[in-house]
Amino acid sequence: MNTALLLLLLPCALALAQDGRRHHKPSASLSPPGEFNSSTQSTTVTNPTSKQHSTSPIKPTTPKTTKSPTHSPTPAKTTKSPTHSPTPAKTTKSPTHSPTPAKTTHHTTAHPTMQPKTTSPPPKPTPSTTLEVGNYNVKNASGVLCVLSQMAVQIRQSGSSPNETGTFIIQPNKTETKGSCDDSKANFTLVFLEGSLTFLFQKNATANSVYVNFVSFDVNYPIIASGPTQHSAVNNSLNLFGVAVGRSYSCTNVSVYMGQGFHLDVTHVRMQAFNFTNGKFGEVLTCPLDQTNYNVAIAVGIVLLVLIIIVVLAYFIGKRKKMDGYQSL
């Protein structure tokens, strides 16, 4: 600031000096001598016109001009403008919003959760295509045996056309037995991955017999490839595997119609409910179907025996006639 004031005062001083030179007159000592009178006094009084050159330059003195440099520092305001330049800091906030794709990842994870609700894939086809005999048993709450069974089971379905058929085979190694018993009834259920199959035994104390009066199954499996996967059937008007109490039932093949094109095929079966001796099957009763097979075999054997007898008799009769002819000669 001091240097600025000096620079401003310096031109003012130079201006005053030039003005003084412009109005300068020779001094009184150089004027010709004269008497000391009033005229001389007047001249001496009028000469100091220096009042004008001393006062006139003072008015435009620097105080007014010094105010102008005070306004010159207005560039200081311009220095504030760079303070506003860091506004790009707002742009740095934009990358903070860039992680919004995280919302899209939530949407992608949400879609798979909908698939288990909309579609429940049916079980894969059973690997076994041949019937297998399984051994099953049920015990009561006291641990006493009440149902014992050996059998191979399949569910067969017939479609609308003769060629449209399918089967579901129950695999013993993937099946467990559940059930319950009391004095007159027994519940015998096979449980597997695709569903269940239930037999209900009824004891008739008056006739001293026992038989199956109810069969049902519930299977989730595409028995026919082009058909549905969920199947249920019930037959509650049966008299199946009937025997005297304490005996077992045996049959090569038993087929039960369950309605709606379903058949329950039980093969190589031996089954008994109630009254076991040492946990083993009682005396066997063979089913009529197997018995007729034995009768046919016996009948065929008898027919063959009769034919053999006829042939032998014909031979001896013919031989005897020849011998009679020789004797007549």
Residue 5's pLDDT band, with cuts at 50, 70 and 90, is low
Predicted local distance difference test score (pLDDT) of residue 291: 78
d(CA 285, CA 241): 9
CA 162 → CA 134, 166, 263, distances in Å?
A: 30, 11, 15
Per-residue confidence at 39, pLDDT binned at 50, 70, 90?
very low
CA separation for the pair 1, 194 (Å, rounded)? 102
Structure-model confidence comparison of residues 325 and 48, the more confident one: 325
224-248: per-residue pLDDT in tens?
Answer: 987 788 999 999 999 999 999 999 9
pTM value is 0.54
pLDDT at 64: 46
Higher pLDDT, 267 or 2: 267
| Residues 6 or more apart whose Cβ sits within 8 Å of residue 176 | 190, 191, 192
Residue 309 has pLDDT above 60, yes or no: yes
Check pLDDT > 90 for residue 188: yes
271: nearest Cα among 168, 190, 156, 157: 190
Average pLDDT, the chain: 75
Cα–Cα distance for residue pair 153/155, rounded to 1 Å: 7
**pLDDT tens for each residue of 7-19:** 777 766 676 766 6
Is 194:220 a contact under the CB 8 Å cutoff? Answer: yes
